[in-house]
Structure 1
Amino acid sequence: MGITAFSGTLTGAMGGTGKVVSAGDAAEEQRQLFLTSLSNAEIAVGYIGELASMEIVRRLGRKLTAGETENMNSCVEDLKDIAKKFEQLVENGIKELNNSALKHEVKPLIDEFRDIPHDIDDNEFAEAEANEPWVQNVLIHLHTVLEGFKTRMSAESFDHLVSYLTNTVANTLERAVLKSRFTRLGGLQFDRELRALVNFLTSVTSSTIRDRFAKLHQINTVLNLEHPQEVLEYYGSSSSGVTWRLTPSEVREVLGRRNDFKTDEIRRLKL
């Protein structure tokens, strides 16, 4: 099967429109066809790599003529080009799988963070600590969704899928946090929620994903300060080699999400 035909098969497995169908038995059949096509593309990359490794030349057991060498080199370059196309096809397939089958389910769950009060008092903090309804709901859904793919994908492709999913989680949560209000206790609650999310996603992949949450960890640090001036002990020239992902204006924005921090004090900070 040519690369164009194979690409058509993969696209067809996504419902013919570039989207994974998501309703009933037909959706499951389409999803299985898509994952099978994705697996076949990965296997093809491996086989093509073997052919392009010149191992076949060594197995001939004789020295090639100049003409044979030229022809062989030309074939090897063609094979490498085909392998790159298959690799791109696999990458695009995993990206589309995230966009069509994961992203639309996960984003609304993360967005619900805005509906969970974080401007809380002692009693509300104790209740949240005992139940943690938002983050537990998110973790259950993430586990369920990912389990449906883990056993049907190669380890490498699954790691790539988790990587795309992690970006969705981190970016969506960052926006949700910056639209929420916090007390000091609310900051502590967010710290627990963020740790739970990072620990879960780290546990399901062999790839390094903690760096995707670097900005959120810094937002978390700012939200958990005792007073606005304390940020000067961490930010800028006092960062001790830490690369801050937050700009001065973003630091002020995060500080402004704390109900108990005064606007004038935040404005006067020399960041």
Structure 2
Amino acid sequence: MSLSLLLEKYDVSTEEGLQKALSEVEKEESRVAECQRRVHDLIDLQLCSAGVEAAIKANDYETGAGHVSRFLSMDPGSVAAARARGAADPRDAMTRAANTLREHIVRRFEDAAQKNDDENVDKLFKLFPQIGRAEEGVRLLAKYLATKLGVEIRRLSVVAEGEGAVFADAMTRVLEAAAAAAARAAALAALAAPGLLPAALAALQPQVCAGVRRVSGALLRAAARPASALQAEPALAELALAHSTIQLYFAFLTRRTQADAASLPEAAKQAALDAVEKLIAECDLTRTAQDILGHYLELEKFFLEESVNKALKMATPQPGSTTSSLVDDVFFIARKVIRRSISTGSVEGACVVLNEVSAVLERDVTAVLRRRLRAAPPDPLPLPAPPAPRAPRLALDLTALDLTADLAHALNKDVEAQRLLFLAHLAEAEAGAEWAARLAEEAVRGAGGAARGPTDTHKVESCAAGLGAAAAALALAAEQGVAAVRAGLAPRLALWADALVQPAPLAEELEDDADAFPQALEQFSECARQHLPQHTVDALLLAVVTDVATRAEARILHHHYDREGGLAAERRCRRAAGRAGGGGARERAARLAQAASLLALERPQHAADVLRPPRLPPARVRDILARRTDFKIEDIKKLKL
């Protein structure tokens, strides 16, 4: 539309009319530009067709591919407009020229592939995306790389004679060559089009599977069931390393595919990842990995059982032995086995080994410790006997246990060794429970790298819980040992209970008399700390104080006291309560001190003044006051408690 017509059509004197006129002008300019572009496209199309033919004659395939790329980028509307005017389809000549160029490029590519001319292979491959044949280029490249990789793998899969992990090293070399080929395919495929890498990997994978299968066959034959656990270790290390290398190769393929498909839409990206996952799941390399893992697990079970049985045999008590390394040896083996299973890179393999270790600890090791902690030797922890009262008759009774102990030492020279060995086993049971819990934490933390998601993590945590059950079983064995110690101390505790509430003084000096039991407890705890963990020592102290306090409170009712005897008993019990150890022990001893304080009263009417929470029952207060020979029963009955 001419400018004069626009001025006639629109009133440009107004703003609205001027805007409409300008819009009309812009539309006309756009139509003119579109027409010019189509004319240029048609001219370029003719030039491209002639240029391709000239490039083929000159063997200048890069220039020819550039012309084809220009043709493919043209707007189809240009050709359609020309055909609408009755002109011949200008694409026919260009299509024939492009097909001819493709045939020349394919032929040259195959010639370069036969000559192993990597430079020309890469150069010609880059032309396929320009002529619209990216998928064909990737297919030809993958075929070339697969042929080249097959030759290299056959050379690398030959296992050299020698010591060390020769089979695992050969498998590593094979998979490194495969990874290098996959990396080259990924780099070139990225130049062609994203998302084509899975097709290239599918062409490479058969060569990889065949090479690894040859090496794994030799490895499995060499790792046949050995005669001893010591001979099994090198084979186990190789099997674990071989399986780990395969898992690393699979992870490498997945990462490369993710990087290659990163620019694709989400659906196409997921399709590429699914294709690689399917390739990994269905290839023979996965079956080879399963064979290696199965053989490893069978051999690892043999190693674990043989090693633990040997440790149990070596830990059999010998005459005069005072130490034991049973738990140290077993948990050293368990940690080694668990760490090796994690190094395979298989969550399933780690779970199987965790279950085996848990079963061995709970079934074998705990059973041995429970057997050895069933009964304690005489006087398992030295608790000094109370000093004998000055009355001759009582002196004979209170020293009876010491005479018995001296006789036992004279009859059995190994009694001290038995005592030390028992304490060593008790400490081992305590340490074993802690070790089992620590191993469970290490296993969950170590297997985190192999876990592919929350499901795998939960699976490892569930299997590691079996070590928690083993820890609980070892803790029960330790509790059994503590109970045996308490049973062994029972006769001496009965003597101390009677000594604390004796009406007669136990020593000439009042301080010595009052401090006898606290000093005995201090010697007892010092000796216990040399052999047992602190929490076990605290538990034993609580048990000792509770037992003595309970017995002593009952023994009060078997004696009669005057004021002096009551003061002596009160002084001993009060000093014992003040130095009884932990809070639980002091609380129980405080009740005994309260009962003894009733014996030291000047008058029964003062009983209410010494009763503090937790108060003794009124009936027990009256019974204790009745043991004072100088208190009248009538006064005791009148008390309001």
TM-score, structure 2 length as denominator?
0.35
* Partner in structure 2 of residue 41 of structure 1: 429
Report the residue type matching 1:160 in the other structure: A
What runs of 5+ residues in structure 2 fail to find an aligned partner? 1-359, 380-407
What runs of 5+ residues in structure 1 fail to find an aligned partner? 119-126
Output aligned runs, 1:1-271, within 5 Å.
Answer: 2-14=361-373, 18-21=375-378, 23-24=408-409, 25-53=413-441, 56-57=444-445, 60-61=448-449, 64-100=452-488, 102-112=489-499, 116-117=503-504, 130=509, 138=517, 142=521, 145-202=524-581, 208-233=584-609, 235=611, 242-244=613-615, 246-271=616-641
Cα distance in 1 for residues equivalent to 2:473 and 2:496: 35
Identity of aligned residues (%): 25
TM superposition shift of 1:145: 4.8
TM superposition shift of 1:221: 2.8
Does structure 2 retain, via aligned residues, the 8 Å contact 1:13–1:20? no
Report the residue type matching 1:190 in the other structure: A
1:182 alignment partner, SS class: coil
TM-score, structure 1 length as denominator?
0.76
TM superposition shift of 1:253: 0.5
Cα distance in 2 for residues equivalent to 1:152 and 1:31: 11
Report the residue type matching 1:108 in the other structure: L
Distance 1:20 1:174, change over 3 A: same
TM superposition shift of 1:38: 1.7
1:117 alignment partner, SS class: coil
Cα distance in 1 for residues equivalent to 2:498 and 2:596: 17
Does structure 2 retain, via aligned residues, the 8 Å contact 1:114–1:179? no
* Partner in structure 1 of residue 238 of structure 2: none
Report the residue type matching 1:251 in the other structure: V
Does structure 2 retain, via aligned residues, the 8 Å contact 1:183–1:260? yes
Report the residue type matching 2:626 in the other structure: G
Does structure 2 retain, via aligned residues, the 8 Å contact 1:13–1:30? no
Q: Which has the higher contact order (CA 8 A, sep 6+)?
A: 1
Distance 1:8 1:27, change over 3 A: farther
TM superposition shift of 1:66: 4.6
Structure 1 vs Structure 2 CA RMSD: 3.1
Cα distance in 1 for residues equivalent to 2:441 and 2:625: 56
Does structure 1 retain, via aligned residues, the 8 Å contact 2:604–2:625? yes
Does structure 2 retain, via aligned residues, the 8 Å contact 1:188–1:224? yes
Does structure 2 retain, via aligned residues, the 8 Å contact 1:11–1:18? no
2:558 alignment partner, SS class: coil
Cα distance in 1 for residues equivalent to 2:445 and 2:525: 43
TM superposition shift of 1:164: 1.6
1:151 alignment partner, SS class: helix
